Amino acid sequence: MTDKVLVVNSRDLDSDNFYKKDSVDFDGSLILEENLGWVRFKKGIKVTCKIEVEAGSGIEAGWGIEAGDGIKAGSGIEAGSSIKAGSSIKAGSSIKAGSSIKAGCGIEAGDGIEAGWGIKAGLSVICKGLLKFSFNLFAGTAIYKKASVEEQAVECSKLDGNIAFGKLKIVKSSINSEKETEKEKRIEELEEELKQLKKEAKKE
């Protein structure tokens, strides 16, 4: 396996955050440095090894994204067509593909997962937001091992699509929980302000 690495930094991006080349076809790994925001590629990305996007950066391709090994992003992953990885796909926020999402191992997103067609994973599919796709989802289809019940899990806060194979578990969205906590905190603050105003009104 090659140990070559293509590193993308701020000097490689134009004013609209597009990479200096329309596409990437690289024999090795692709690494996007941290805090670059959404790094955009006009066409496709294909590497023989892994794609690693550091914290504060996301990856977006007008066509497909393909890695011989895994794809990992500190922020989101978005492709105009398919997203394909030999092992796992993991994103700090959302994963979105115009057509299919395929992973040899598991798929995990800190927010939602959306595919224009379907989703296939060797192990579990887990996200904290909406899981949406047009056709079918298959989880725990690994041919290199017998997937346990846990490895066939499909977890999300809301499902929009058909699970052809996998064990569905609807979980409370931590994203919504955080919003609710902020809302409750603000209500408490307003109630306290109202109490103070009533006290001041009585004194007058």
Say what the pLDDT of residue 88 is: 98
Q: Are 136 and 177 found together in one domain?
A: no
Q: 115 pairs with which residues across the strands?
A: 97, 133
pTM: 0.84
Q: Are 160 and 186 found together in one domain?
A: no
Nearest partner of 39 among 55, 23, 60, 15, judged by Cα: 60
Say what the pLDDT of residue 204 is: 64
Q: Are 15 and 90 found together in one domain?
A: yes
pLDDT tens readout for residues 54-113: 999 999 999 999 999 999 999 999 999 999 999 999 999 999 999 999 999 999 999 999
Q: How far is CA 123 from the centre of its chain?
A: 16
Q: Are 140 and 188 found together in one domain?
A: no
Q: For residue 194, what pLDDT band results from cuts at 50, 70 and 90? A: confident
Q: Are 190 and 164 found together in one domain?
A: no
Q: How are beta strands 153-156 and 167-170 bridged, if at all?
A: parallel
Q: Are 111 and 177 found together in one domain?
A: no
pLDDT tens readout for residues 115-146: 999 999 999 999 999 999 999 999 999 999 99
Q: Are 41 and 138 found together in one domain?
A: yes
Q: Are 89 and 155 found together in one domain?
A: yes
Nearest partner of 44 among 96, 85, 79, judged by Cα: 79
d(CA 159, CA 166): 13
Please check the confidence at residue 180 and state whether its pLDDT lies above 60. Answer: no
Q: Are 161 and 178 found together in one domain?
A: no
Q: Are 26 and 123 found together in one domain?
A: yes
Please check the confidence at residue 184 and state whether its pLDDT lies above 90. Answer: no
CB-count exposure of residue 111 (10 Å: 0-12, 13-18, 19+)? buried
**125, 136 in Cβ contact below 8 A?**
no
- For residue 203, give its domain range: 173-204
Query: Which whole-number Å values give the CA distances from 70 to 35, 171, 174, 176, 192, in the listed order?
Result: 21, 26, 25, 29, 50
Q: Are 124 and 74 found together in one domain?
A: yes
Total domains in the fold of the chain = 2
d(CA 57, CA 160): 28
Q: Are 180 and 106 found together in one domain?
A: no
d(CA 18, CA 22): 8
Q: Amino acid identity, residue 120? A: K
pLDDT tens readout for residues 1-56: 568 999 999 999 999 999 999 999 999 999 999 999 999 999 999 999 999 999 99
Q: 165 pairs with which residues across the strands?
A: 138
